[in-house]
């Protein structure tokens, strides 16, 4: 599934852009420009992404609210891998091609499952 088509992206795609620097239009909409930077909110659980793109010599900001924090992390990972690409190309990206790194909580849960599996095997 393409990023732009995911149900969690319906309210934030295509992006709306607000100028940060340069002499371009104050506001733009759509899959335009090149992605320069992406940041994820530092407040847990993260539900916001901040994108900076460049278009015709000006820099623009977009704030995406993605309510599902796990999906927000996945989108952040995908966007990080595509810094320098066009926003349109990023929207075309298939989510299945990208596997984000696990979080400390995910690793803890996996370790607990492995331990419980070993204990169960040892008991039999």
Q: Is the dihedral of CA 19, 24, 30, 36 positive or negative?
A: negative
* Measured CA distances, 91 to 85, 107, 116 (Å): 10, 29, 40
Residue 55 pLDDT? 97
Average pLDDT, the chain: 84
Instruction: Supply the pTM of this predicted model.
Output: 0.75
Number of domains in the chain: 1
Over the stretch 43-81, which tens digit does the pLDDT of each residue have? 999 999 999 999 999 999 999 999 999 989 989 998 999
Q: Taking 50 as the threshold, does the pLDDT of residue 93 lie above it?
A: yes
Residue 105 pLDDT? 59
Residue-number span of the structural domain to which 30 is assigned: 3-123
Confidence of residue 117 (pLDDT cuts 50, 70, 90): very low
């Amino acid at each position: 599934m393409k990023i732009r088509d995911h149900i969690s992206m319906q309210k934030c795609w295509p992006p709306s852009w607000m100028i940060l620097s340069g002499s371009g239009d104050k506001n733009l909409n759509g899959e335009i420009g090149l992605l320069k930077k992406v940041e994820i909110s530092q407040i847990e659980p993260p539900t916001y992404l901040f994108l900076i793109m460049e278009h015709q010599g000006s820099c623009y900001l977009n704030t995406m609210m993605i309510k599902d924090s796990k999906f927000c992390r996945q989108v952040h990972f995908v966007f990080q891998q595509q810094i320098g690409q066009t926003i349109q190309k990023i929207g075309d990206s298939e989510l299945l091609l990208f596997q984000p790194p696990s979080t400390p909580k995910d690793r803890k849960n996996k370790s607990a499952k492995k331990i419980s599996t070993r204990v169960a095997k040892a008991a039999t």
